[in-house]
């Protein structure tokens, strides 16, 4: 087998063709490159070869080990921490499927070396661990998964490369074990895999005097090891591959051609990385002439190879289809499987006082510290999905002055979550990149305040971090990828449970089999549709619907989040803040929620107070708001008010009372600058008189009721809601919501007047108001009435992102609980979300909307939304829906009012409800399958 690279020039490509045509080589081993390039080369070479070529690759952790644009599965050391071996079988099967898709027949995996030497410079993270039984179970699962897909597995590096301190790529390791030790430890997994149908084996380059006393002779070239031990004594009938014959473990002692013949004479069936094919063939012919090997022996090995080629399907070789190749190799199932593997491997080694998963988020001031880098990490970003975190950085070689400055900055935080990043993979790098400065700072930090440390690197590096065992929480993440950082954040907040166990002893503090378990709480997990039995491909219609809406200028952008069974299975942002396309929408951006404020603010407060016996929907507005006594609204019951059948007017254009006939504002209403008398910011350069809010409430009080009874959607009672909450609780509306909901939820973006908290680049603007405020509304609320109340009202005014809105909706779905916190008394949400007057033709629940036309595409809900589901929509282009039957939460945020509210294509297209219908269609499809 000759080495081939798909990232090299045409001369290299042609040179391989020449070797195939001229010398009839038996196979190829592909190294660095890309899938499409490799596929094209393979097609060419298979066409040029009379006997189909056996194609191989080193893909221990997936094709990504050699090829770009492919899925990275965890290293074997990570997999060693997994208790559920079925996952490893599934990984083997998926790597097998991907290999076949790319025309690969042999994967040089698994490495069954038992890594009982922490200083091993070449195996280390490539091993499943130090326990022979664990290594065997994991190897077996990997092997069976691949071979069930008709891809040959390859156990390496025979007879065991785990206890070496020399890298055989650069030298020849000397193994001075007894035969008893080799039999009982190193050879154990090889024997067990052979009993279970192992297809091929790779022999290592090691000098093992107990098996062959020849000085400087690698095991690859040793007949006593390859023929006598492996083939005769152990009875191995599969293919025997050499390790690469250009490695210095053999190449420094023998030239190309000569080394190949020695490997052949030793008993190997396949010469891997033959560097001089012409010379090798000449040397083999000499060996036959010199009677060192017979033609019959060579023919027997050829027949063995041909049988293997038939087993992998080369008797029916087909060209590789390059269309959709990248898509197929990056299929959603593989991505989800990768996440499952990472989740099962992450190992919790310290959990002082059960600090994890984190509770009482409202009491925490969290600093997310990235050690080893000065760039914002995926870990920091994923932590921020769960609560408000401030980010800090500690470079590897920070000065003492920088360390002291950072220590000072962290003083005000009562929890530090530290990620250790950019570590080196190999033990050969000394301390894996952990510097004295990093150690000094972490040691002090662990002693001074609650600290959780997640180490994203070779698990042996834990031994190099001083006093790590004294941290409140320690997570071994094994390696640094976006997925490990994502899942580690989920583990810390309880989106997923800790399950893994250490596959090796790292130090006296962290030993093999160590690993604490946690229960995942009911906080969100962030995953794929496959996690709840759906298919990612069946959700693709969402992207199409949003693309259509943006193309037709129904909205410049959007956020969409879908959670099912407590798992966020879709969370995407689309488009831009405005049609100038300068600022792309991110998941962290905040939108004006408009009337979603009714269900994310007012109803949250009312339901909590109801559960505490402080608010009764059968009582009147006058009961809770004495200022309404004597008015025509005093005796309106809240049951009628919240179902919009209390005969209240739909709305009042309060701002028009402030404008003179010439269009200017009346003197005691607005000023361009803030002052003691005009402190209320309505928009940029527009401040309202401090007492004007009272006039708004008075206008509501004095407004006539509708003449006819029946359903009329009205904002008026919700405008009064903050006063009701303040009267009952003695707290301001905003403070009550923050204290009882948003802070303990970790819903940091749910806020009124976001300009006080966020930069404008994170706030999506709404309309260009040409009537009242004469400006683009950016950072202040779109609704005129809410704006005149200083941005805080019960009918509009709240801002937030889809992720944080979804957390509150999940509280409703879970009957008032989230993250082991009871926000609303059990039984309250189902009572408020039912439809008390449906039989009379009013489809509203208490404060919530219900499907007005169930089963139709023209209604306010998805066609398939069950009758028990509920939610609300907002004027700015927002929407949320909760489905207790299918355990769904759906949030759609947009600024469809940009640049003008007059455009309402979003409703005409039914985009918001159609997006949710895609999910229902996917659910139906999954049931059918």
Locate the domains of the chain by residue range. 2-328, 346-521
Q: How far apart are CA 411 and CA 365, in angstroms?
A: 10
Backbone angles phi, psi at 568, to 5 degrees: -80, 115
Q: Which of 908, 847, 927, 904 is nearest to 880 (CA)?
A: 847
Q: How many residues does the chain have?
A: 929
Residue 666, exposed/middle/buried by CB under 10 A (0-12, 13-18, 19+)? exposed
Q: Which of 893, 91, 818, 886 is nearest to 525 (CA)?
A: 818
Residue ranges in the chain modelled with pLDDT below 50: none
In the CATH scheme, what architecture does the domain 346-521 have?
A: 3-Layer(aba) Sandwich (3.40)
- Provide the β-strand partners of residue 817: 822
Tokens of 858: 């023209």
Q: How far apart are CA 926 and CA 533, in angstroms?
A: 7
Residue 551, exposed/middle/buried by CB under 10 A (0-12, 13-18, 19+)? exposed
- Provide the β-strand partners of residue 822: 817
User: pLDDT tens digits, residue range 865-898?
Assistant: 999 999 999 999 999 999 999 999 999 999 999 9
| CB-based contact 371:438 (threshold 8 Å) | yes
Residue 724, exposed/middle/buried by CB under 10 A (0-12, 13-18, 19+)? buried
- Provide the β-strand partners of residue 889: 563, 882
pLDDT value at position 135? Answer: 97
| CB-based contact 716:649 (threshold 8 Å) | yes
Helices (H) and strands (E) in the chain, counts: 32, 30
pLDDT value at position 891? Answer: 99
Class assignment of domain 2-328?
alpha beta
pLDDT value at position 858? Answer: 86
> How does DSSP classify residue 744?
H
| CB-based contact 835:845 (threshold 8 Å) | yes
> How does DSSP classify residue 500?
-
| CB-based contact 84:128 (threshold 8 Å) | no
User: pLDDT tens digits, residue range 21-56?
Assistant: 999 999 999 999 999 999 999 999 999 999 999 999
Q: How far apart are CA 833 and CA 882, in angstroms?
A: 10
| CB-based contact 561:570 (threshold 8 Å) | yes
Is residue 570 classed as helix, strand or coil in its secondary structure? strand
pLDDT value at position 427? Answer: 64
Q: How far apart are CA 621 and CA 721, in angstroms?
A: 10
């Amino acid at each position: 087998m000759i080495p081939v690279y798909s990232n090299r020039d045409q001369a290299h490509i042609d040179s391989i063709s020449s070797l195939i045509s001229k010398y009839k080589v038996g196979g190829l081993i592909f190294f660095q490159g890309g899938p499409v390039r490799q596929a094209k080369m393979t097609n060419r070479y298979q066409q040029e070869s009379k006997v189909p070529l056996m194609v191989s690759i080193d893909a221990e952790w997936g094709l990504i080990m050699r090829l770009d644009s492919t899925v990275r599965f965890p290293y074997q050391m990570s997999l060693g921490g997994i208790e559920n071996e079925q996952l490893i079988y599934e990984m083997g099967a998926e790597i097998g499927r991907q290999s076949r898709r790319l025309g690969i027949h042999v994967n040089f995996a698994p490495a069954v070396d038992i890594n009982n030497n922490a200083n091993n410079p070449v195996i280390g993270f490539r091993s499943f661990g130090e326990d022979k039984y664990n290594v065997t179970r994991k190897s077996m699962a990997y092997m069976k998964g691949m071979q069930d897909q008709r891809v040959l597995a390859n156990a390496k590096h025979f007879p065991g490369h785990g206890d070496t301190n020399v890298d055989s790529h650069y030298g020849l390791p000397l193994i001075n074990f007894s035969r008893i030790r080799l039999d009982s430890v190193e050879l154990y997994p090889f024997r067990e895999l052979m009993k279970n149908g192992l297809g091929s084996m790779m022999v290592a380059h090691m000098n093992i005097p107990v098996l062959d006393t020849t000085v400087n002779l690698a095991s690859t070239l040793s007949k006593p090891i390859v023929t006598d031990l492996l083939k005769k004594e152990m009875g191995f009938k599969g293919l025997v591959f050499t390790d690469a014959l250009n490695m210095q473990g053999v190449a420094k002692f023998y030239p190309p051609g000569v080394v190949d013949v020695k490997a052949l004479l030793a008993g190997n069936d396949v010469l891997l990385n033959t560097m001089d094919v012409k010379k090798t063939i000449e040397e083999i012919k000499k060996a036959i002439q010199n009677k060192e090997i017979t033609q019959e022996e060579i023919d027997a090995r050829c027949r063995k190879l041909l049988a293997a080629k038939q087993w992998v399907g080369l008797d029916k070789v087909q060209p590789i289809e390059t269309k959709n190749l990248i898509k197929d190799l990056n299929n959603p199932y593989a991505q989800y499987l990768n996440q499952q593997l990472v989740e099962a491997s992450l190992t919790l080694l310290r959990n002082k006082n059960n600090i994890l998963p984190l509770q009482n988020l409202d009491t925490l001031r969290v600093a997310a510290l990235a050690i080893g880098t000065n760039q914002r990490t995926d870990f920091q970003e994923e932590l921020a999905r769960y609560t408000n975190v401030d980010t800090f950085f500690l470079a590897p070689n920070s000065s003492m002055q920088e360390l002291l400055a950072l220590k000072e900055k962290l003083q005000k935080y009562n929890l530090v979550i530290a990620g250790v990043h950019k570590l080196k993979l190999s033990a050969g790098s000394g301390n894996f990149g952990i510097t004295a400065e990093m150690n000094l700072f972490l040691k002090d930090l662990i002693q001074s305040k609650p600290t959780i440390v997640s180490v994203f690197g070779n698990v042996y590096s834990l031994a190099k971090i001083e006093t790590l065992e004294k941290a409140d929480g320690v997570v071994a993440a094994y390696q640094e990828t976006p997925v490990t950082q994502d899942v580690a954040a989920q583990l810390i907040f309880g989106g997923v449970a800790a399950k893994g166990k250490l596959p090796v002893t790292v130090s006296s503090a962290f030993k093999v089999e160590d690993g604490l378990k946690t229960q995942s709480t009911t906080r969100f997990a962030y995953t794929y549709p496959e996690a709840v039995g759906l298919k990612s491909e069946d959700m693709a219609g969402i992207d199409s619907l949003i693309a259509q809406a943006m193309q037709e200028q129904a909205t410049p952008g959007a956020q969409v989040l879908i959670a099912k069974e407590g798992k966020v299975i879709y969370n995407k942002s689309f488009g831009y803040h405005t049609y100038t396309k300068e600022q792309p929408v991110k998941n962290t951006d905040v939108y004006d929620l408009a009337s979603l404020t009714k269900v994310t603010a007012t109803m949250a407060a009312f339901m909590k107070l109801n559960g505490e016996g402080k608010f009764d929907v059968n009582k009147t507005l006058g009961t809770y708001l004495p200022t309404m006594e004597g008015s025509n609204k005093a005796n309106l019951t809240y049951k009628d008010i919240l179902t919009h059948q209390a005969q209240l007017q739909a709305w009042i254009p309060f701002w028009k009372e402030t404008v003179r006939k010439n269009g200017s504002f009346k003197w005691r209403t607005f000023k361009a600058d803030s002052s003691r008398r005009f402190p209320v910011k309505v928009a940029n350069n527009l401040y309202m008189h401090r007492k004007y809010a009272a006039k708004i409430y008075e206008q509501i009080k004095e407004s006539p009721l509708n003449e006819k009874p029946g359903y009329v959607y009205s904002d008026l009672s919700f405008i009064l809601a903050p006063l009701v909450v303040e009267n009952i609780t003695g707290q301001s509306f905003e403070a009550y919501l923050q204290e009882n909901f948003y802070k303990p939820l970790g819903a940091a973006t749910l806020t009124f007047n976001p300009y006080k908290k966020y930069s404008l680049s994170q706030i999506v603007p709404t309309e260009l108001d040409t009537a009242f405020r004469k400006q683009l509304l950016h950072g202040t609320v779109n609704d005129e009435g809410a704006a005149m109340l200083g941005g805080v009202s019960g009918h509009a005014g709240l801002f937030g992102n889809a992720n944080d809105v979804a957390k509150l909706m999940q509280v409703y779905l879970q009957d008032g609980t989230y993250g082991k916190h009871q926000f609303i008394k059990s039984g309250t949400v189902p009572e408020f979300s039912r439809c008390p007057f449906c039989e009379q033709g009013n489809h509203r629940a208490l404060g919530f909307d219900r499907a007005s036309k169930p089963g139709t595409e023209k209604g306010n809900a998805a066609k398939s939304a069950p009758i028990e589901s509920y939610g609300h929509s907002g004027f700015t282009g927002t929407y949320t829906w909760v489905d207790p039957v299918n355990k769904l939460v759906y949030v759609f945020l947009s600024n469809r009012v940009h640049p003008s509210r007059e455009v309402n294509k979003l409703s005409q297209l039914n985009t918001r409800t159609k997006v949710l219908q895609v999910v229902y269609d996917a659910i139906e499809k999954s049931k059918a399958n």
